[in-house]
Structure 1
Amino acid sequence: MTSASVGFQCPDCVGAGAAQQRQPVTPVGAPIKEKPTVTYVLIAVNVAIFGLAWMSGLDEAIGNWGMWPAGIAQGEWWRLFTSAFLHGGFLHILFNMYILFIVGAPLERLMGHLRFGVLYVAAAFGGAVASYAFNPVNTLSVGASGAIFGLMGAFAVAGFKMRYDIKQILFLVGFNLVLGFVLAGTDWKAHVGGLITGVLVAAVFFYAPRNKRTVVQVLGVLVVLGILVGITMWRTSELLALPVY
């Protein structure tokens, strides 16, 4: 028996009562997790892939796995995902991983592991799709910047929803967007695509009604991904219609 303020209770009764208590969740309905495991894993994966690419030949790896519209149109669709895990040099990956850490870790604590992972992959895909859709056919682009911009956009959405001061994150987004516009060789289209995707996915997660939260979140993400797939199909048909193909 277990002592209680009104006498004694059987252990099974205590266990059943504890199980019925509502567990604390994040603002998007995920279980609270203190350790940003997905952020750490993403950083490790990006660094490991960069190391392998560097040892095997960075230019060759970028050519084989980077975002290249001509290759994607011919069926090399994996480039829309692999390009987000490649980087063009040490400064490129160092900057991206730093932003991933300072933005990703607190955002993952707000969203939970699963939703944060979905957000990252969706934003990476959105950045690659924008790059594919609006860049010249022979463009070659790599980097996690699309995903990073998606995280920053999502952080702004979260802050707005929770009534936090979001001036700093808005400045960070704006400053990096301007850099992308003025620095030669920067794929700003991927930045914008990732940012828009991140904002949309975060809005679905943070503004879903509580009584239908999971259903709305799943359907919302599927709608966003469906739009991205539609843009990809449109661009592919456009490229295949060119005389060069």
Structure 2
Amino acid sequence: MSTDHSPAPETSVPTCYRHPGRETYVRCTRCDRYICPDCMRDAAVGHQCVECVAEGRRDVRRAVPRTVLGGRAPASAVPVVTYSLIGACVAAYVAELASWRVVWEFMMLGRGVLPDGHLGGVAEGEWYRLLTTMFLHQRGGSFGITHILFNMWALWAVGPALEQLLGRWRFLALYMLSGLGGSVLLYLVGAPQDAAVGASGAIFGLFGAYFVIGRKLGGPVGPIVVLLVINLVITFSVPGISWQGHVGGLAVGALLSAAYAYAPAARRRLIHIGAPVLMLALLAALVVVRTAELGPAM
């Protein structure tokens, strides 16, 4: 009877894939590689290796922090948009001090002959005036520097709170569309040669939004009502103030903020995107209609 004297097969001891010198019998539940205690990370079932844990974290979509009204919460408490708008207005004012031409070329004007002799205005295709005018302010006249000082104070007073509640993009849309609304109302009901400058339309829009959102959230709205009443009295009693810019901005700001504040949670994102787009389309359509009504210059 023959006896098999062949040697027994050698068995290799598994080692950690990251530390080949360390023996282990534990495998990653995700990639099935052997891992030593230093490479183990607790998982819902068993253990995972460092690389699989890192990859899993990348796959998980982080929840975006939202404000109480559904806007994206700013990453910091610094009101970046508010300060940027103030900076833009101040920079424009400095440019005005350097040259009156800045006012001629960028103020709100339906149609008229400018001091350099050329015919300009929104009706002449210079639609940018509807927006650029909100960054300009009087550098002289009956108001002087108080024009920009009051508007920038008002923006600094109410802007940060609204920016924190709405998020940066919604707040910027509110400001720009309110200012645009003031320009459009002046273009619609004013004489073609009527001119205006100032951020007041946008500021009145912020006042209206502060009131609407304050009522929605149950906050104190008495101070903003008093401020609004005082400013409306000044608007209609002091000569030289464009009431159209103030009322147009107030109306647009109140309507747009109502869409922000009262949108149903299930459709909030859709309404928050759709409301500014529809408002912009409406204002653009009104400008087109008014331009066609004025027709070509005689």
Relative to the length of structure 1, the TM-score reads: 0.89
CA distance in 1, matches of 2:103, 2:95: 12
Aligned pairs (5 A) from 1:31-50: 31-33=72-74, 34-50=77-93
1:28 correspondence with 2:84: no
Tell whether the 8 Å contact from 1:204 to 1:221 is kept in structure 2 after alignment.
no
Gaps of 5+ in 1: none
1:204 correspondence with 2:259: yes
Gaps of 5+ in 2: 1-39, 112-120, 140-144
**Counterpart in the other structure of 1:88:** 138
Deviation at 1:28, TM superposition (A): 2.4
**What value does the CA root-mean-square deviation take over the aligned residues?**
2.4
**Counterpart in the other structure of 2:102:** 61
Q: 1:78 aligns with which of 121, 128, 133?
A: 128
SS across alignment from 1:128 = helix
Q: 1:102 aligns with which of 154, 157, 165?
A: 157
CA distance in 2, matches of 1:117, 1:194: 14
SS across alignment from 1:27 = coil
SS across alignment from 1:54 = helix
SS across alignment from 1:29 = coil
Relative to the length of structure 2, the TM-score reads: 0.74
Identity %: 39
Deviation at 1:226, TM superposition (A): 1.7
Tell whether the 8 Å contact from 1:200 to 1:224 is kept in structure 2 after alignment.
no
CA distance in 1, matches of 2:211, 2:41: 48
The change in CA–CA distance for 1:83 and 1:21 in structure 2 (over 3 A counts) is: closer
SS across alignment from 1:169 = helix
The change in CA–CA distance for 1:179 and 1:211 in structure 2 (over 3 A counts) is: same
Deviates more, 1:171-180 or 1:184-193: 171-180
Deviation at 1:27, TM superposition (A): 2.2
**Counterpart in the other structure of 1:52:** 95
Larger Rg: 2
Tell whether the 8 Å contact from 1:152 to 1:173 is kept in structure 2 after alignment.
yes
1:215 correspondence with 2:270: yes
CA distance in 2, matches of 1:134, 1:8: 72
Once the two structures are superposed, what CA deviation does each residue of 1:199-228 show, in whole Å capped at 9, x if it has no partner?
A: 111111112221221111111222212221
CA distance in 1, matches of 2:82, 2:49: 43
The change in CA–CA distance for 1:177 and 1:16 in structure 2 (over 3 A counts) is: same
CA distance in 2, matches of 1:79, 1:111: 27
**Counterpart in the other structure of 2:209:** 154
More helix by share: 1
List 4+ stretches of structure 1 deviating above 3 A: 1-4, 7-11, 19-24
